[in-house]
Chain A
Amino acid sequence: MRKKALDSVYTLAKNDERVIFIGSDLGPGVLENMKNEMPERFFMEGVSEQHIVGMAAGLAMEGFIPYVNTIATFLSRRCFEQVAMDLCLQDLPVRLISNGAGGVYAPLGPTHLAVEDIAIMRALPNMTIVCPCDADEMNRFMLKTLDWPHPIYIRLAKGGDKIISNESAGFEIGKSILMKNGKDGLFITTGVMTQLALQAVEKLEHEGINCGVLHMHTIKPIDENSLFNLIPNVKAVVTIEEHTRIGGLGTAILEFCSDSIPEHTNKIFRIGIPDKFAEEYGSQNSLLEHWGITVQNIISSMKNKLNK
């Protein structure tokens, strides 16, 4: 997914002179083709996230569309004030491409695990947050980033995932995709967690439980219309995110329900990362298991909520 995102930056830059790439201190050879062919719009600026975001703001004020790329923790934690003041307050079209959110960097430990980035970004006015579910969707989404007038936080989670999205569903920022309809329960998911939900739905089907999957690729602005139309029609809603249960997708759904359809708030159950720094290393999968974000747990959470 990360590769697709960067490939897209190259293609966008080839076709649009406003596109700029800014990295911090990424791996050798990143976007070599852009560096060679469009050197005046390729920047590798060193380990200086505060500066990079400010510099991107300055370029955006002059009509450019900067795509900034580094590890999610550093984009969300290290330069929060620059994101808030330079990008959001001034509402500038800068794109933050964050590598390895969630448990991707499991072996590297808590310094490299961005598990509260959605909460941080969601609190900022004017920010848009998008978490695609696979490389194909990433590609469709990136095409839409050129003319979106606000800052975007692009969350790249696990890589090398199965393609589950469908071109016919299209892609509109802020418009969720109903991957599957179901009459008993509804999973609301974001990023690669949509993959787990689809597996859970298949297994539940065998037990005679019919569940749908709403893929919320855009967490902010949240697709209120879909929530308003779908939540009242099912008996239970389980949200799944590779992110702390505080302030992310589940919280956003609860807030919507509490504000707009309060009688449905009790239906919601949130699956996410517990309120603790990671206590283990291992792999992304072992961390997800440690956190209880597994297909098995997703199935039992839905059954519990449905009293089955």
Chain B
Amino acid sequence: MTKLDERSKDLRKNVIKMVEVDKRGHIGPALSLIEIMRVLFDSFLTFDASNPKWEKRDRFILSKGHGCLALYSILADKNYFSKNEFKYFCKPTSILGGHPERDKTPGVEASTGALGHGLPMAVGMALAAKIKKETNRVVVVMGDGEINEGSVWEAAMSASKHKLSNLIVFIDHNKLQSYGKTTEVLDMSPLPEKWQSFGFNVHEIDGHNIEALEELLKTLPVNIEKPTVVICHTIKGKGFPFAEGNPNWHHKSGLKEEDILEMYKCLE
């Protein structure tokens, strides 16, 4: 079991600040993502928070839009906007909604929330870079429930047809979807073999292990004329033992004051 360091704890504290506003949010699916997002934004993606539309930036799409708490946490950390925005999470005129929206939140590349939309859009962006002979990369994060969607596999076929080596997909494989275990709702295994057979370069990794993630990202993208997928083994609700692997924390509402305190306590 990976122990959380201070930075991982801080990024989780941001999440709590947002969910304590209305005592609700997609907590579990954000917590499994924190380390993936952290490593991407700390060590991999090229961007300029003061110029979110900078042409040379790497494109990042959180296709599992319900994991937005993790995205907002890292975007604020990188100064795309002030952490002060957290206290307006999902308020009527907030820039931080329950799913990410392009043109509303600085740093959000595409509006997502309806599942299975991110990868097709990412394929379009990666093709655009190839046509323009730009060297930017396109990174997409999907959930393991999300990949039930047929559109994901339509896009996967297209990505490999076009040899999109500038496209890297991360799967937050936390083994739980809304109703319950992914193996019981719709078993997608064997995942690595599936992606391999769709023409992807496949990696598997502990999605909470910072060092391992950083090591792997140093080798990406590999120039083998294939898109890449990184299957990240994660724990839904990671960091809060009472939420870990608990489907009731997928979308949690009616949080009580003691729940919030309990969450903060886990991060001490």
Contacts and interface: CB of A to CB of B under 8 A. Distances in A.
A7 interface: no
A41 interface: yes
A196 B132 CA distance: 47
Interface in A53-87: 53-64, 66, 81-82, 85-86
Contacts of A86: 117, 120-121
A58 B127 contact: yes
Nearest to A40: B131
Given A51-B158, A64-B128, A82 B123 contact: no
Chain B contact residues, majority secondary structure: helix
A55 B103 CA distance: 19
A220 B157 CA distance: 35
Interface string A119-143: 0000000000000000000000000
A54 B114 contact: no
B114 A45 contact: no
A50 interface: yes
Given A90-B110, A90-B111, A50 B124 contact: no
Contacts of B129: 62
Contacts of B187: none
B157 A55 contact: no
A61 B121 contact: yes
Sort chain B's interface into a size bin.
20 to 34
Interface string A76-118: 0000011001100110000000000000000000000000000
A21 to B, nearest CB: 13
Given A48-B157, A82-B151, A85-B114, A58 B131 contact: no
A243 B155 CA distance: 32
Contacts of A60: 124
B97 to A, nearest CB: 12
A56 B124 contact: yes
A142 to B, nearest CB: 22
A31 B85 CA distance: 50
A55 B127 contact: yes
B233 to A, nearest CB: 27
Interface of B: 101-103, 109-111, 113-114, 116-117, 119-132, 150-151, 154-155, 157-158, 161
Given A61-B102, A82-B117, 10 more contacts: A50-B150, A54-B123, A55-B121, A55-B158, A57-B120, A61-B125, A62-B124, A64-B131, A82-B151, A85-B114
7 contacts: A40-B131, A41-B131, A45-B158, A54-B117, A54-B155, A55-B127, A90-B111
